Amino acid sequence: MHLYALFLPPKSALTKTLRVMKLTAICLLLFCLHLSARTVSQTITLSGKNLQLSQILDSIERQTKYIAFYDEDVIANSRPVTITAVRQPLVDFLNEVLSGQLLTFAIKNTSIIISRKEAVLSPRSITAPAITFPITEIPTITIMGKIVNEKGEPVEGVSIVVRGKSNGTSTNASGEFSLKDVDENASLEVSYIGYASQIIRVNNRTTIDIVLSLALKLEDDIVVVGYGTQKKATLTGSVVSTSGAEVLKSPATNLSNTLVGRLPGLIGFTRSGEPGNDATTLMIRGSNTLGDNSPLIVVDGIAGRDFSRLNPADIENISVLKDASAAIYGARAANGVILVTTKRGKTGKPRISATHNTGFQRPTVIPEMADAATYASMLNEIAFYNNESLGMFQRFSEEDIQKYRDRSDPWGHPNTNWFKEVLKPWSLQHYDNVSISGGTDNVKYFLSVGARSQDGVYRNSGTKYKEYNVRSNIDAKINKYISVALDLAGSQEDKDFAVTDVFSIWRSTFRGKPNTPAFWPNGTPGPSFLEFGDQPVVTSTKANGYRLDKWFKLQTNGRINVIIPWISGLTLQGNISVDKAFNNVKEFHKPWYLYNWDGNSDHITVPGKVGIVAPTLTQSTNEALQITMNSYLSYDHTFNGVHNVRAQAGVEKQTIDTAFVTARRENFLSPAVDQLFAGAADEFMTNNGSALHSSRLSYFGRLGYDFSNKYLLEFTWRYDGSYIFPKAKRFGFFPGVAGAWRVSKEKFWQENIRGIDEFKLRASWGQTGNDRITPFQYLSTYGFSGNYIYNVDDQVNNLVELRVPNPNVTWEVANQSNVAMEMGFLNNRLAVTLEYFYNVRSQILWIRNASIPASGGLRLPPENIGKVNNKGWEAIVEYRGSLGQFKYNAFLSGSYQKNKIVFWDETPGVPEYQKSTGRPMGSQLHYVSLGIFSDQGAVDKYPHWPGARPGDVIYQDVNGDNEINGLDQVRNTKSDQPTFTGSFSLNLQYKQFDLSLLVQGASGSQKYITIEGGESGNYYKLWADNRWTSENTRTSYARTWDQTVPYWDNTRNSYWLYSSDYVRLKNVEIGYTLPLGLSKRIRIDGMRVYLSALNLFTVSELTKKKMMDPESLDNYAYPLNKVLNVGLTLNF
């Protein structure tokens, strides 16, 4: 049986019914199968020089069914062993290995327990005089060595750090390193991504050669946390992370689109696929507040940066702080924090990596609409229902309908598929990247250049996107104590849009009448059939102008790191970051032409100008400047070998200034020159401008203590001041505490528990804030809103009271509690994490307009009155393994979150079934659809709206008063946000081939979908084909209707609700790497070719019914794309 097959969950696991129970069952099943699949062996074959004990124990685990339990610290002091054993019995082998060590072992069932010899703890050693620290300097030595991988090849860029100290280095291209000033008794920590980190005692050696072993133990992962990094094993908070390599597997054009499914607990929806506007809405653990739910983004330590347009090739790591671990970010941390770290240079010869990608994209779903014959029949039905006495063929004769059907008369009776006319089959996208990194001991660099382009899905698309990125991350060591870094990242984004907005293009395509030609048979665009001359085959192109939205962004950061020489373990870091963004928007409208045919037999079409009479130009410039300065002291020290103390304290201030100016002219004489001067200086010429300034001041810190990596405790805090609030309420204190207990480190566990290598319990609680509200709510101010006109064309401003001031406005407060269990099985190759969280957001700013009568006339300010709780769980199962050349890892995660409004402003006297309190945010009132009145008898039998007729939607008489009115509306419990999201990913590697896939799904959400069908637009094919007619009375689809005329289209009801649950193959990639020998022959270091895809398959009701993508905002949004990509990476 192939092991990886176990990771393909049964079909039901991909559905919304996935629950912890099942996850646990899968884990257990896997665990048992894995064990039984092993060959039982009790002899060891191993030979080597100076082998670390941990390596030996690993070998035992690999060769036998035995699992070794030990305390890392216990083995850290062991001596290296040189041994030659061929099929040596296990007990003998262990005796030989441990002879001369201060260690002993015991075998219980299939566990080997390694512990200190009792002798060490003899009374004499306890009563030995207390160790005194020598006053004189400890002699230091210089260590040289070479680091190779499991194949014996030198590895470059391996980090070697002296434990508990800050000095360290990394290997050069030949895998060699040299480290000065090392205490002869020190331990070295050797780490390299993808390999197990090792602790090596120096023991007065000056030459140390190290063999890296592949990281199969998940606990060795390092994660980035606020203002620092931590080892995953000793983490106390709820943090998930993913690597830049993972992110790169997706051919998505926006970094934010690549994260969904890779970071459990991070919920995201891509609401639009429009090139340049396709950022995913990200939320950590769903919605927690009625207000802004967006997480804080921290890029390379600087808060509030935009990351969706970072070059994915520059990303080292992305991690997400989901609980109180975010408290160090205080007043902006309530919605969680996403930390992005970019790549840095490593010592060694320059490494050049170049990538090229070409992708082909198309919408995931192309809506299917009614054809001309059906549409014409439906218009006839509308007229019939309005006046039955005039019969069924008031608009189109049977002959007309036949002509629409048989396409015999393309001029007079066209049958247009508007989506086919507007969209092209495939559109191109490109992504190229070149990076160079390397460095010496003193200066390291990472330089990267990226370029991306994406075409719109329209034929002759007026929408295109281009992006260029450059980055230079440079680290320099000035002396033994001081190092500096300078990061510069610039990007240019050219968002080139059709001047008609997306909504109008898609709306007019949906409204496209199938009996109106998109193009006449002679190739000219068909006539105007909507307001404003909106004819999507033209308005989706550049024929009517353009909107060029250009961004130039510069992110800079200068960093200095000072090791304070007087106190061991104390460092000071300072950052000054200046981020500047310029935005230019140029919107040039020009008249366009649609063609009319008057029925002449020569089929001559005549162009007509539509839209606007003369070109207009609006040009605006925005600029933003964000300056962040921070400085913090960090202290990291181990006392007596077991008391690890980490402390941090710092200060940060941030200012943001934005300003815009805009100008507009109309009545250009000619579209030839698209500059402002060429427009008329007439009454239509306008300009405008304004500015915003914001500032924040914060103090923050962290205090961490752990005993022997076994009992861990961390306290973080931030004291935040924000310009948003009144002077007296400007500062807030936000604490977070977290603790963890690595139960598996306990002796009782190691002696008694088998099969679970790692067992960690952790819990956290924190109070964070959310200050994402409109500023100055405490001030009583007036602002301009609209205009009034006196005399002829004398337009003056209207001044209005902006709000009733709320002098008590303050932060939203998030109480975040989290408990979790982390388990490691199979020698930590299998990791399982279960998390439960309970968030209570209080003091949510909400407007009391539900209880304050409108007769008060108040423009109400938000007040800190709302309270929402959000609870749920996350389960993560991760497995990394290998079978000879076959390496694989699999990742399964599920997260569930459900929020509930505990308190907000509710209108008094509302019946219980209509209250929003106690229900999830965003739940709406609906009349409850019971189906369709099949005939007049059915209408007569049940209470109904005045004028209801057969084919109409039956509303439930909820309160049983035999009348349908507002009291029959019921508040549902679902919104357009899913309650469950899950993902499964698999990475396989066999020799030169690799495969990775990511399946992602969401459930528990629904969408309200209507359409402007009728006189002004077409219908979904599904709705049209199955509609109620006097011949088709047994159907669940309503009769033909005209726009919002029937009560069931103009009052919200459950007939239009569709489940937006989905499961999709979000990402798949197949790669082939050229064998090393071959690539050497063509003088490159490596080459890989790959095929990847985004959103390749989707299973959902909405896609099956050919209506829309389940993630899209609505049917008039630019759809999500399916992308097929081919790529090539070269390394020099």
Partner 1 sequence: MRKVFKIIMILFLLSVIIFACKKDFLEVEPLGEFSENAVWSDPNLVETFVNSMYSNNFGNPFGNRKLSDFCDESRSSWSTTYNWNKGLMSSDGLQEWTEGFGAQATAALTWEPLYATVRMENIFFSRISEVPATSPADEEKIARLKGEVYFNRALTYHLLVSLYGGVPIITEVYGLDADFSAARNTYEECINFIVGQLDSAIIFLPPSLATELQGHATSGAAMALKSRVLLHAASDLHSPSKNESVAAGFAAPELLGYTEDDQTARWQAAKTAAKAVIDLNLYSLTKENPSPTDNIAQNFINYFTSYGDPEDILLQFTVPAMIAYAQWGAVQSEPNGYNCWGNQTPLQELVDDYQMNDGTDFDWNNPIHKSSPFENREPRFYATVLYEGKKYRKRPPEYAAIDPFDKLQTGRVFSTGGNLLVGGIDTRDGPTNTANGGYTGYYNRKATDTTLDAQFERQDIPFRQFRYAEILLNYAEACIELGEDAEAKTYINKIRHRAGLPDLSSSLSGNELKEAYRRERRVELVYENSRFWDIRRWLIASDVFKQTHSIDIRYVAPDGTTTYRKEDGSDWSVPTYTVIETSGDLRIWDNKYYFLPILRTEINKNNKLVQNPGY
* Residue ranges in 789-808 that form contacts with partner 1 under rule CB under 8 A: 789-802, 804, 806
Q: Applying CB under 8 A, which of residues 31, 426, 468, 481 lies at the interface with partner 1?
A: 481
Binding residue (CB under 8 A) for partner 1 from 388, 598, 602, 1031 = 598
Q: Of the candidates 601, 583, 737, which has an alpha carbon nearest to the alpha carbon of residue 659?
A: 583
Nearer to partner 1, 28 or 691 (CB): 691
By CB under 8 A, residue 431 contacts partner 1 = no
Query: Which amino acid appears at position 327 of this protein?
Result: A
Of all helices (H) and strands (E), which one includes residue 1082? none
Nearest alpha carbon to residue 1102 among 1112, 1094, 1092, 1093: 1112
Of 854, 912, 962, 1082, the one binding partner 1 (CB under 8 A) is: 854
CA angle 792, 796, 799 (to 5 degrees): 150
Residue 941 contacts by C-beta under 8 Å, 6 or more apart in sequence? Answer: none
Nearer to partner 1, 167 or 243 (CB): 167
588 binds partner 1 (CB under 8 A): no
Residue selected from 122, 203, 460, 600 as contacting partner 1 according to rule CB under 8 A = 600
What's the min distance (Å) between Cβ of 58 and partner 1?
Answer: 43
According to DSSP, residue 184 is labeled T
State the DSSP H helix or E strand holding residue 215, giving kind and residue range, or none if neither.
Answer: none
Q: Give the footprint of partner 1 on residues 861-900 (CB under 8 A).
A: 861, 863
Question: Which residues, numbered 1066-1095, are part of the site for partner 1 (CB under 8 A)?
Answer: none
**CB of 424: closest distance to partner 1 in angstroms?**
27
Our CB check for partner 1 shows the closer of 674 and 1042 to be 1042
Within residues 461-480, the interface with partner 1 by CB under 8 A covers 479-480
Binding residue count for partner 1, defined by CB under 8 A: 128
Which one of the spans 134-142, 332-340, 702-710, 964-972 is the region binding partner 1 (CB under 8 A)? Answer: 964-972
The verdict on 603 binding partner 1 (CB under 8 A) reads no
- Asked if 778 and 723 count as a contact pair (C-beta separation under 8 A), the reply is no
Q: With contacts defined by CB under 8 A, name the span among 132-140, 444-452, 845-853, 868-876 that binds partner 1.
A: 845-853
777 token code pair? 């709510």
Token pair, residue 512, equals 């496209």
Q: How far apart are the first and last CA of the chain?
A: 40
* Separation CA 25–CA 267 (nearest Å): 25
Name which of residues 644 to 683 contact partner 1 (CB under 8 A). Answer: 651-653, 683
A 10 A CB-CB count for 643 gives 12
The closest of 460, 535, 542 to 498, measured between CA atoms, is 542
Closer by beta carbon to partner 1, 152 or else 966: 966
Tokens linked to 1090? 């790959």
Is 215 a binding residue for partner 1 by CB under 8 A? The answer is no
Q: Which of 11, 727, 1034, 1083 binds partner 1 (CB under 8 A)?
A: 727
> Shortest distance, CB of residue 766 to partner 1, whole angstroms?
24
The per-residue DSSP string of 121-177 comes to G-HHHHHSPPP---SSPPPEEEEEEEEE-TTS-B-SS-EEEETTSS-EEE--TTSEE
Residue number, 275 or 591, with CB nearest to partner 1: 591
Q: SS3 for 266? A: strand
Closest to partner 1 by CB, 230 vs 374, is 374
Among 148, 434, 562, 988, binds partner 1 (CB under 8 A): 562
Give the nearest distance from C-beta 725 to partner 1 in angstroms: 9
| Residue 120 is a binding residue for partner 1 (CB under 8 A) | no
For residues 53 and 79, what is the distance between their CA atoms, to the nearest angstrom?
A: 8
Helices 372-386 and 398-406: crossing angle, nearest 10°? 160
Q: Which 356-415 residues touch partner 1, going by CB under 8 A?
A: 382-383, 386-387, 395, 397, 399
Q: Is 531 in the site for partner 1 (CB under 8 A)?
A: yes
**Residue entry with tokens 């007019």:** 508
Q: Please report, as residue ranges, which positions from 677 to 706 form the binding site for partner 1 (by CB under 8 A).
A: 683-684, 686, 690-697
**Within positions 753 to 782, which residues make up the interface with partner 1, using CB under 8 A?**
775-776, 779-782
CA 1104, CA 701: separation in Å to the nearest integer?
52
Minimum distance from residue 807 beta carbon to partner 1 (Å): 9
Give which of 282, 306, 225, 318 is closest to 656, Cα–Cα. Answer: 306
Is residue 307 near partner 1 by the rule CB under 8 A? no
Among residues 7, 227, 497, 597, the one that binds partner 1 under rule CB under 8 A: 597
Least distance to partner 1, CB of residue 908, Å: 5
The two three-digit tokens of residue 362, written as one number:
């198309």
Pairing of strands 266-269, 969-971: unpaired
Residue selected from 215, 222, 624, 852 as contacting partner 1 according to rule CB under 8 A: 852
Q: How far is the CB of 375 from partner 1 (least distance, A)?
A: 12
Following DSSP, what letter does each residue of 338-389 receive, concatenated?
A: EEEEE----SEEEEEEEEEEEEEEEES----B--HHHHHHHHHHHHHHH-GG
Classified as helix, coil or strand, 415 is coil
Nearer to partner 1, 95 or 1044 (CB): 1044
Binding flag, residue 859, partner 1 (CB under 8 A): yes
Closer of 337 and 809 to partner 1 (Cβ): 809
CB of 388 vs partner 1, minimal distance in Å: 11
CB 1016, min distance to partner 1, A:
4
Binders of partner 1 in range 1004-1043 (CB under 8 A) = 1015-1017, 1042-1043
What stretches of 38-76 show up as alpha helix (H) in DSSP? 53-63, 72-76
| 1050 near partner 1, judged by CB under 8 A | yes
